Structures are given as structure tokens and as C-alpha cells.
Chain A
Amino acid sequence: MPRETTIAYKDDAAPVAFTRAELDWRPWLAPLAEKDLTERHWKGLVDKSRSKSGYFMLLARDPDILGARTRTDKDIFYNPDGGLPRAERELAATAVSRTNGCIFCASVHARFAVTHSKRHADVDRLLDDGVTAPQDARWSAVVSAAASLTQTPSGFTRQSAEALIAAGFQDDEIVDLIYASAFFNWANRLMLSLGEPQAT
């Protein structure tokens, strides 16, 4: 069997700073081709349009786990019933990505955070100056919880939860904040390790 190799690219336009601009992402391993997809693959992709994405078509090599991942993702970030305001779920995703260093994930979720909150200056301050940059009390609490849960080992303690409760966060909001932050520790690691971002 010939030795397998990763995909090499001649050009490189890797972003070197966090940004809200749209970035491309290209894989280091071969994505599946659309013509090779079975029903099981389409089910794993969840949305048909994701067959145009090199990222999802690479993950489709294990379609069942991709499907479970995607349904978890959508419920945490898109379910409108109760819990944390969607802007703050996206803020948590951005703060986790900023902490782990996922420039691609941070760009996508910073844009979503701005879409839902209209607070582009606050989101840009998080991207430019990091998770310790000043924010209002509520956003500071969200960013700080997301960043501490992202440490290995986790730095989110009983005292962290008590601080959120004291700041007025309800249980369903705190559960969403934990889920959103934990989930981006899943997403960041796939995005960072299976390919690379490129400026468009």
C-alpha cells in the first residue's frame, strides 16, 4: 500500500490575528467526494448544503458521530426556548475560541455574537485584547466562565457557579453557558487540528 500523505498547499494566506472577517478553511486530509456519499452520509451531514464544506465532508468519514455532533451543536446554539440569550451563547463560543487560539472558530462566532447583540465594539475588544479585556458585568461573567471552563484541568469551580448565581443567572442560563463553553472545546480541536484557516 502506498504511504498516505497529508494534503500540501503551495500558497499560504494564514491569518495571524483574530478577526471578524470571513475566512476560508482548507483540510489537511482528504474530504469525501459528493458522488461517494450514501444515505448514511447525508444523514450525518444533517444539512444538505454542508456537502459543499471541506470541513464537514472530511468529518463525514465517520458520518454517525458527525450527526451526533451536529445535533448537539444545533440544540445548544440555536434552540430559542429559554436559557441563555443567543448572543451570550455565541459570546461564550468566541471566548473559548479566543482562549484555545482557534482563529477560524472565533471569526465565525464573533460575527454571530455581533448579529445577535449589535455590540461590535465589545466583541472586537474580546478578539483584540483577549478574555481579560473589560466588558460590562454580565458579559464579563460569561467570558470569565467560558475561559475558566476551557482551562485544562477545568478552572470552573463551585465558586464560579456561585458567582454566576449571585450575578442573577438562572439555572437554565448557567447550563447553556456550560454547554456552549464545553462544546467549543470540542469544535475548536477539530477545526485547529484537521486543517487551516486562510484569508479570503
Chain B
Amino acid sequence: MAYDTKDTIDQLAGIAAGSAIDRARRGREAARLGAEEAYRLLLLPENPGDVSLTERHAIALFVAGLHQDAGIITHYRHLLDKSDPTDGALAPAVLKAARTGSINGPYGRYPEGPLTREDKAGPAHEVERDVAVLLGERLTSAFNHAHLLVLRPRESSAAALQKLLDAGWTQTGIVVLSQLVAFLSFQIRAIAGLRALNAAHQTASVAVPAE
């Protein structure tokens, strides 16, 4: 499968073609292609199947919001605005839910035992009532689950999956939802890390002019 010279990670991390970081990324070509393919399969699928495009984009914007990364939020907001059948009402509601849910992670309780001393208490997310009305039952349960996955993954449970089944998610839909949130947790960190490395290079090249 052929992709543009710059992939989504390059665009959002600001990696220039031919730069040292670009060359290093091309040393892991299969990972580069795999990450872009995963992005397209999860966010721009030809056959969305059990999880609609709008649902995927709303969840992505919520997850980007929880990571508090302005550039990535803009990217996913743009996707949602294009697929939103309510003509723009969803994105502000999603961002409101993300602001309410934003907290530093990871936190959560361990199974009782020697790790209990490392327990870090913190809240479970409940989408606000007015936002929940707009999102509907399926997306509301997906947001509460995405918050669990992003911020306190060690508190995951079969009961949390049961809530999704009860809200109308299929088992395959839950696998897609889980892959989406987990993939975004990867993509957002790959972008954050490469952007930081890029910034370090630029500072260095200002401090030590090339000969």
C-alpha cells in the first residue's frame, strides 16, 4: 500500500521530509506503514461495520481531548465536523466532556495485595447529563469506557465491558472501540515524543550553527 510522503504522524509531529528524524523513522518502514494503516482502518474505514464513522471520530476527539494536545485535537475535530450528521453540534459537546474528564494519569487501584500501597485513587468518568442526551446511550457508554482505558487502565474489568454490551455495543464493536482508544494512546505518544525530539534538534541547531 502506498502512502503520501508525509504520513499522519509526520504531519502532526512536524517532521520535515529528509530530516534526521524522517530518516530514522524510515529505518522502521513496516512500523511507519503499520501505524498509518491502523489510522486509516480505524478512522477512515471503507466499511465502518459495527462502529459508525461519526462514533469513531467523536471517540477520537474525546481521547485527543483527554491528552490535552492542541494540534491533535484540531485534527480530530476536523474529522468529526465532516462526519457529524447534526451539522456541528457534536464537537463542542465532545470537547466539553473531555474538559470535564481531564486529569493526570495513569491512576487506579491494583488487585489487593503487595501493590495496594501503590494505589492511586481517582474518579471514574460520568459524562454530564446534558452532553449524554446529545451523545445518546452508545456514545455515552463509549466515552466512559474510553476514559477508563486512557486514564486508569489497571481498573479495567469484565463489568466495564458488560456496561458496553448493555448499551448496545456488539462484541466485535467493543474490540474495534478498544483498538481505537488503544491505538490513539500509541499515536498521540508517538507524535508527542517525535515532536519533542524535533524541538530538541531545532534548539541544538540554533545553539550550534552548521559549519
On A, residues with C-beta under 8 Å from B are 3-8, 14-18, 28-30, 58-59, 61-62, 64-66, 68-76, 79, 81-83, 99-102, 130, 149-154, 156-158, 160-162, 165, 171-172, 174-176, 178-179, 181-183, 185-190, 192-194, 196
The reply to whether the CB of B151 lies closer than 8 angstroms to some CB of chain A is: yes
The docked-state distance in angstroms from the alpha carbon of A171 to that of B196 is 12
| Among B20, B27, B37, contact of A83 (Cβ-Cβ < 8 Å) | B27
| Among B106, B182, B197, contact of A150 (Cβ-Cβ < 8 Å) | B106
Q: How far is the CB of A9 from chain B (nearest CB, A)?
A: 9
Q: Which residues does chain A contribute within 8 Å of B28, judged by CB atoms?
A: 75-76, 79, 83, 175-176, 179
Q: How far is the CB of B127 from chain A (nearest CB, A)?
A: 18
Q: Which residues does chain A contribute within 8 Å of B37, judged by CB atoms?
A: 68, 71
Q: How far is the CB of B51 from chain A (nearest CB, A)?
A: 9
| Among A4, A154, A156, A171, contact of B171 (Cβ-Cβ < 8 Å) | A4
Q: Which residues does chain A contribute within 8 Å of B23, judged by CB atoms?
A: 171
Q: Which residues does chain B contribute within 8 Å of A179, judged by CB atoms?
A: 28, 31, 190
Contact B34 A194 (CB under 8 A): no
Contact B200 A175 (CB under 8 A): no
Q: Which residues does chain B contribute within 8 Å of A61, judged by CB atoms?
A: 171-172, 175-176
Contact B114 A16 (CB under 8 A): yes
Contact with A along B142-182 (1 / 0, CB 8 A): 00000011110110101111100110001110111011011
The docked-state distance in angstroms from the alpha carbon of A130 to that of B190 is 23
Question: In the complex, which residue of chain A has the Cβ closest to the Cβ of B113?
Answer: A16
Contact B106 A16 (CB under 8 A): no
Contact B24 A69 (CB under 8 A): no
Q: Given that A17-B113, A179-B28 are contacting pairs, would A185 and B189 also be in contact in the complex, using a CB cutoff of 8 Å? A: yes
Q: How far is the CB of A62 from chain B (nearest CB, A)?
A: 5
The docked-state distance in angstroms from the alpha carbon of A183 to that of B150 is 14
Contact A71 B174 (CB under 8 A): no
Contact A151 B186 (CB under 8 A): no
8 closest residue pairs by CB, A with B: A16-B113, A101-B154, A72-B34, A178-B193, A186-B186, A75-B30, A161-B200, A182-B189
The docked-state distance in angstroms from the alpha carbon of A4 to that of B164 is 10
Contact with A along B105-143 (1 / 0, CB 8 A): 110101111110010000000000000000000000000
The docked-state distance in angstroms from the alpha carbon of A29 to that of B28 is 33
Q: Given that A28-B158, A100-B154, A186-B186 are contacting pairs, would A3 and B176 also be in contact in the complex, using a CB cutoff of 8 Å? A: no
Contact A75 B29 (CB under 8 A): yes
Q: Which residues does chain A contribute within 8 Å of B67, judged by CB atoms?
A: 152-154
The docked-state distance in angstroms from the alpha carbon of A185 to that of B66 is 15
Q: What are 17 A-to-B residue pairs whose CB atoms are below 8 Å?
A: A6-B158, A8-B158, A17-B113, A17-B115, A29-B174, A59-B175, A61-B172, A65-B176, A75-B34, A83-B27, A130-B118, A154-B192, A158-B203, A189-B149, A190-B178, A190-B182, A193-B161
